[in-house]
Structure 1
Amino acid sequence: MSIDTVYTITSKATGGGRDGQVYSDTGQIDLDLRPPKEMGGSGEGSNPEELFSAGYAACFLGALRATAEQSGVKPPEGTEVKVTIGIGKDSSDGGFGLTAAIDVTLPGLDQETADKVAETAHSFCPYSKATKGNIEQTVTAHV
């Protein structure tokens, strides 16, 4: 794969990782991180999975709009993408792994078209391509 890079961004983590801070070079991200309650933390901050789910959802929606329009389908008003990221023990190596559930809402389209639009976006989205084969992913289209 050859990438013609048009944009780069750098972020920095300090402190204890999941219990620390993250900053982007632009200053747009300046957050305290805390483990979620489900992982023994206070939950009083963001966490890597929350940040990943937000970035993935925004990227996937952009990919969906681009690929739908290229195929002649105008994304309807109310189109949205919800990405749920899960983290848990990876039984294969004792470490941790991620899951991604991508829910695409395309109100007013027929189910077959919505499924095709969602799958095409999944094959185009940089986040989907980066994680393909590395995390369990599901894509579900709703009309």
Structure 2
Amino acid sequence: MTKIETVLFTGKAHTTASGGDSASRSHDGRLDIKLSPGIASNGAAAEHLFAAVQPHPTAEQLFAGAWSACFSAAIGLAAKERRVVLPPDLALDVEVDLGMTGGAYFLQARIDVSVPGVAREVAEAIVHAADEMCPYSKATRGNIDVVIKLI
């Protein structure tokens, strides 16, 4: 895997996952995605659907927002499997860097997860399980440098 030598741009998104008030927002306000439970094609409640509020976010911000929303849903599923009640202030900060090495463009990412009030070992197990099931994590695994940190 190639590591970025020079970061050219960083897309940042902060996702809160508290029921009907869930949202992903970029640090500069260009991305503001509200997450709401929707109805899947089979009639079951979907974990998250996007409704873009602000126009013209960058690709890195969109990717960070989408990944954080997906990862948040995976955390919810992993917690449910373990019968762990997640705190209402569960939050993720996902940063996606666009950079260059030599003449080629690459991405790298950092994911900070905050699960206040949950024992560290339990939170680590949930975050690890979420990383294993999240499609965005699977798509990037082995393709870009990703650091996941429980804060």
TM range (shorter): 0.5 to 0.7
SS of residue paired to 1:46:
coil
Residues 1:137 and 2:139 are matched in the alignment? no
The answer on whether the counterparts of 1:102 and 1:139 sit within 8 Å (CA) in structure 2 is yes
Gaps of 5+ in 2: 1-50
Matches within 5 A, 1:92-131: 94-131=103-140
Give the superposition deviation at 1:77: 1.7
Deviation at 1:141, TM superposition (A): 1.1
The answer for unaligned runs of 5 or more in structure 1 is 1-27, 33-44
C-alpha distance in 2, partners of 1:102/1:131?
A: 13
Whether the 8 Å CA contact 1:54–1:83 is kept in 2: the answer is yes
Aligned counterparts of 2:114 and 2:53: Cα–Cα separation in 1: 31
Q: 1:88 to 1:107 in 2, by over 3 A?
A: same
1:31–1:79 CA distance, 2 compared to 1 (3 A)? closer
Q: Count matched residues.
A: 101
TM-score, with structure 2 as normaliser: 0.61
Please identify the structure whose Cα radius of gyration is greater: 1
Flag as ranges the 4+ runs of structure 1 deviating above 6 A. none
Query: Which residue number in structure 2 is paired with residue 89 of structure 1?
Result: 100
In 2, are the aligned partners of 1:118 and 1:140 still within 8 Å (CA)? Answer: no
CA distance in 1 between counterparts of 2:91 and 2:54 reads 25
Percentage of pairs with the same residue: 33
If the length of structure 1 is used for normalisation, what is the TM-score? Answer: 0.65
- Does 1:49 find its partner at 2:53? no
